[in-house]
C-alpha cells in the first residue's frame, strides 16, 4: 500500500519522536527520502506489512505528544507513512482518546479530577483557583506555558482531590499530585525536573491502612518491600509461585486455579479457570495474555496500588498465565493516568527479563513468555475487553460483538486470555498455598479475599483487603466510620457503574451471591461513602455526565441514552413540580431499561444503574425537594 499524504509535514522534533520509537525510515516508502534508483520501481511490504505495524499507532501518538505537547496534522501524516495507515483512519483513532490533543496546547497541562470522589473533597474550589491563576480551562493567556483542564477520575480517590501534571519535552514528565493542598503544590510539581514522581514506601503504606498487619495476602508486600528491587521481592517470597507452576505444568496450573474457584475481580466475576482452560484448548496459534490495567471506574484504585507497590507479582502472575495457556506473548495495558504504576511495571519487567524470568527460556524451563507494556490514552470504554483489544491493535476503542469470544478470537484475532490486575495477583497465593487452603477463606461461592477501595467521607480512606463475607458496616468501621462523626447518607457500591445503598444496608454481606440476591453488584470493589452534607442530585449529575463523555458512540441506545439521561437529571433538579417530576422519573426509568436491553456492551447496560438505585433506594427526586 502506498500512502501518499497531501498536506503539512512533520517538523524535526515530531520526526525525531517517531523515529526514536520506530527507528529511522529505510526507504522513501516508509517516510524517508525517496531514492529513484532504489524506490522508483518497486516496494516491499503491502498489506501484511501494514497489518503488522498498525498496533504501534497509539505508541507513536504518545511519542509525539510527549515530545511537543500535541499531535499536529503533519506529525500524524508522518506516522501514517511510517506505519502504512490511511490518514482518515488515523484521525479517527487520534480523536477518540481524550488525552491526545489535536491542536496547539501549552507545554505543561494540569489535569484536575472533578469526578465524584474529588468533587466531594473540594475539586470545584481547586478548579476555581486554577482559573484565577492560569486563566480559563484549556487556555494559556499571555503566552503562559501552562494550562489546566478538567479530568474524569484519576484513580486517586483515597487521597482526593487529585491532579495529573504533564509537561512535554525531551524528556517529558508526568506526575500525580494528591491530595492537592492548593495551587502551590501544583506549581512545585510543574517545576520538578524529574521525569516521574514515584510513590515512596511511606506513601504506599499510607494508602494501605492495614500495611504490616498479619493475614494480608495480596497487600502483604505493599509499603514494606521495595517495589523496584527484584532481590527484595524474592526475599519476601516472590517467584515461589512460578517455581510451583513449573512443577505442575500447564494442565496442573489450570486445575489448581479452577479448584480454587477464583472469580474475576474486574466486575464480571467470570471463573478464571474456565477462561484459562478455554484458551489453552484452542488449536489456533499464537495465544496471547492481556492484563487489563486500564482501571478507569470512578472510585477504583486497587490495581494502581498493586502495580506501584508490588509490580513483580503482576509480572510473575502473567508469566504463569502464559505458561498455563500456551501463550508466549503478553500485553499489559496500563492507564495513561497512572505514571507511577507504568514506571514500576516497566522497571519490574526489565529486571525480570535480565534475570531470565521473562524471555525465550523462562528459568531454563523451555517455556517462552515475554510481555509489552502499552499505555492507554484516556478512554473508560477500553476497560471493556474487546475495546481494549481494538486499542492494542491501533484502532478506536470500540467494543466488538460477541461471539466470537476472546478465548476464540481476541487480540489480533487469536485466542486471548484477559484478566485484570487483582485477578492475576490472586494466582500466586493459590499456587503457593494450594487451592484448598486458599479457598478456605471467604465463602463457598466467593472464595479468597477482596480488595475494597474505600473513599469519600470516611476517617481512614484507603485500600483494604478483607475476606469475602465481611459486611458493609464492618468495612465502614475498618475505615474509621463517617468522618467528623456525621450521619451516613449513602454508599456507592461498585463505582459509577454500581449502585447506591443507604444506612439500612450496613448488614449486607459483601459476596458475589449476597449482593446479587440484593439486586446489587460488587463491581470493582468501590465503597464510596457520602455523609449527610452531600448533594446527591449533584453527584448523580456528575455520574451522568461521565457516561455521556465516555460513551464510545458506536450504538444508538448508549450514545443517545446517556445524553438524554443527563438532560433529564438537569431538568429534575431545576423543576420541583410534583407532576412534572413524576413524568420525568418515568421517562428516566424507561430510558434506563432501553439502555440495559439494547446497548452493545456493559457501559450502556450499567450507565443508569447508580441513578436508578438512588431514585429507588434513597428517594432522590421523590421527596419534596429536588435533593
The pLDDT tens digits for 143-196 are 668 899 999 999 999 999 999 999 999 999 999 999 998 777 777 667 654 545
- CATH 1.20.1440.230 range(s) for the chain read 536-618
Mean pLDDT of 482-500: 96
Distance CA 72, CA 338 (A): 25
Mean pLDDT over each residue of the chain, to the nearest integer: 92
CATH number for domain 536-618, candidates 3.10.129.10, 1.10.260.40, 3.20.20.70, 1.20.1440.230: 1.20.1440.230
Question: 108-191 maps to which CATH number?
Answer: 3.40.30.10
- Residue 463 pLDDT: 98
List the Cα angle 465/341/121 in 5-degree steps: 65
Q: What percent of the chain has pLDDT over 70?
A: 93
Q: How confident is the model at residue 513 (pLDDT cuts 50, 70, 90)?
A: very high
Q: What percent of the chain has pLDDT over 90?
A: 84
Fold (topology level) of 230-439: Rossmann fold (3.40.50)
Which residue's C-alpha cell is 494559556? 140
Residues 6+ apart with CB under 8 A from 332: 290, 291, 293, 314, 318, 345, 349, 371, 372, 373, 374
* Closest-CA residue to 207 (of 153, 155, 264): 155
Sign of the four-CA dihedral 446, 449, 455, 461: positive
Q: How confident is the model at residue 627 (pLDDT cuts 50, 70, 90)?
A: very low
Mean pLDDT of 314-340: 97
DSSP state of 555: S
Mean pLDDT of 282-304: 97
* Closest-CA residue to 371 (of 429, 422, 311): 311
Distance CA 5, CA 358 (A): 40
- Residue 474 pLDDT: 98
Residue 193 main-chain phi, psi, to 5 deg: -95, -15
Provide the strand spans (E) within 413-467.
416-420, 449-456, 462-467
Distance CA 428, CA 532 (A): 42
Beta bridge partners of 447: 442
Q: How confident is the model at residue 575 (pLDDT cuts 50, 70, 90)?
A: confident
pTM of the model: 0.94
Q: How confident is the model at residue 576 (pLDDT cuts 50, 70, 90)?
A: low
Instruction: State the cell numbers at 530.
Output: 457520602
- CATH 3.40.50.11540 range(s) for the chain read 230-439
- CATH 3.10.20.600 range(s) for the chain read 449-531
Whether 448 shows a pLDDT value over 90: the answer reads yes
- Residue 580 pLDDT: 84
Q: What is the pLDDT of residues 14-35, one digit of tens each?
A: 999 999 999 998 777 677 776 6
CATH number for domain 449-531, candidates 2.70.170.10, 3.10.20.600, 3.40.33.10, 3.40.50.300: 3.10.20.600
Amino acid at each position: 500500500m502506498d500512502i501518499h499524504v497531501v498536506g503539512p509535514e512533520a517538523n524535526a522534533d515530531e520526526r525525531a519522536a517517531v523515529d526514536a520509537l520506530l527507528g529511522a525510515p529505510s526507504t522513501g516508502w516508509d517516510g524517508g527520502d525517496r531514492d529513484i534508483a532504489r524506490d522508483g520501481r518497486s516496494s516491499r511490504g503491502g498489506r501484511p506489512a501494514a497489518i503488522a505495524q498498525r498496533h504501534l499507532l497509539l505508541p507513536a501518538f504518545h511519542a509525539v505528544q510527549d515530545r511537543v505537547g500535541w499531535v499536529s496534522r503533519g506529525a500524524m501524516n508522518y506516522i501514517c507513512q511510517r506505519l502504512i495507515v490511511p490518514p482518515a483512519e488515523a484521525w479517527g483513532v487520534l480523536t477518540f482518546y481524550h488525552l491526545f490533543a489535536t491542536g496547539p496546547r501549552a507545554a505543561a497541562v494540569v489535569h484536575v479530577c472533578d469526578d465524584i470522589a474529588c468533587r466531594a473533597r473540594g475539586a470545584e474550589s481547586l478548579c476555581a483557583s486554577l482559573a484565577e491563576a492560569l486563566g480559563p480551562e484549556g487556555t494559556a493567556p499571555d503566552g503562559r506555558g501552562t494550562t489546566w483542564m478538567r479530568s474524569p477520575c484519576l484513580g486517586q480517590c483515597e487521597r482526593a482531590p487529585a491532579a495529573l501534571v504533564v509537561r512535554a519535552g525531551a524528556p517529558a514528565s508526568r506526575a500525580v499530585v494528591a491530595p492537592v493542598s492548593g495551587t502551590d503544590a501544583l506549581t512545585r510539581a510543574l517545576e520538578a525536573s524529574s521525569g516521574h514522581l514515584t510513590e515512596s514506601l511511606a506513601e504506599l503504606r499510607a494508602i494501605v491502612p492495614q500495611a504490616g498487619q498479619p493475614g494480608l495476602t495480596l497487600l502483604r508486600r505493599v509499603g514494606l518491600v521495595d517495589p523496584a528491587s527484584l532481590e527484595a521481592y524474592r526475599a519476601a517470597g516472590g517467584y515461589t509461585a512460578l517455581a510451583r507452576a513449573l512443577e505442575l505444568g500447564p494442565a496442573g496450573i489450570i486445575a489448581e486455579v479452577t479448584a480454587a474457584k477464583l472469580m474475576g475481580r474486574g466486575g464480571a466475576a467470570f471463573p478464571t479457570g474456565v477462561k484459562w482452560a478455554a484458551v489453552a484448548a484452542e488449536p489456533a496459534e499464537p495465544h496471547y495474555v492481556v492484563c487489563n490495567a486500564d482501571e478507569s471506574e470512578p472510585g477504583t484504585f486497587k490495581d494502581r496500588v498493586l502495580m506501584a507497590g508490588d509490580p513483580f507479582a503482576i509480572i510473575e502472575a502473567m508469566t504463569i498465565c502464559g505458561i498455563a495457556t500456551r501463550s508466549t506473548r503478553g500485553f499489559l495495558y496500563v492507564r495513561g493516568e497512572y505514571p507511577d504504576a507504568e514506571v514500576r511495571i516497566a522497571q519490574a519487567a526489565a529486571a525480570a527479563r535480565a534475570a531470565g524470568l521473562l524471555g525465550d527460556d523462562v528459568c531454563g524451563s523451555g517455556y517462552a513468555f515475554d510481555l509489552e507494556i502499552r499505555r492507554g490514552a484516556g478512554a473508560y470504554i477500553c476497560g471493556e475487553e474487546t475495546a481494549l483489544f481494538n486499542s492494542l491493535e491501533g484502532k478506536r476503542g470500540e467494543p466488538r460483538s460477541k461471539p466470537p469470544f476472546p478465548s476464540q478470537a481476541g487480540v489480533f484475532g487469536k485466542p486471548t486470555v484477559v484478566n485484570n490486575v487483582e485477578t492475576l495477583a490472586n494466582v500466586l497465593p493459590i499456587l503457593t498455598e494450594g487451592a484448598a487452603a486458599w479457598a478456605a477463606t471467604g465463602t463457598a461461592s466467593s472464595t479468597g479475599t477482596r480488595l475494597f477501595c474505600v473513599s469519600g467521607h470516611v476517617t481512614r480512606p484507603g485500600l483494604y483487603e478483607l475476606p469475602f463475607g465481611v459486611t458493609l458496616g464492618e468495612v465502614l468501621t475498618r475505615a474509621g466510620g463517617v468522618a467528623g462523626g456525621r450521619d451516613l447518607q449513602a454508599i456507592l457500591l461498585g463505582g459509577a457503574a454500581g449502585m447506591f445503598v443507604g444506612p439500612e444496608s450496613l448488614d449486607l454481606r459483601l459476596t458475589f451471591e449476597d449482593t446479587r440476591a440484593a439486586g446489587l453488584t460488587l463491581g470493582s470493589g468501590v465503597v464510596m461513602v457520602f455523609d449527610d452534607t452531600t448533594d446527591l442530585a449533584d453527584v448523580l449529575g456528575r455520574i451522568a455526565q461521565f457516561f455521556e463523555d465516555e460513551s464510545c458512540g458506536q450504538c444508538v441506545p448508549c450514545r443517545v441514552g446517556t445524553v438524554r439521561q443527563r438532560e433529564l437529571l438537569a431538568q429534575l433538579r431545576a423543576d420541583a413540580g410534583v407532576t412534572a417530576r413524576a413524568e420525568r422519573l418515568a421517562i428516566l426509568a424507561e430510558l434506563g431499561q432501553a439502555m440495559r436491553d439494547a446497548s452493545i456492551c456493559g457501559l450502556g447496560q450499567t450507565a443508569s444503574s447508580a441513578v436508578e438505585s438512588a431514585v429507588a433506594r434513597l428517594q432522590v427526586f421523590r421527596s419534596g425537594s429536588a435533593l
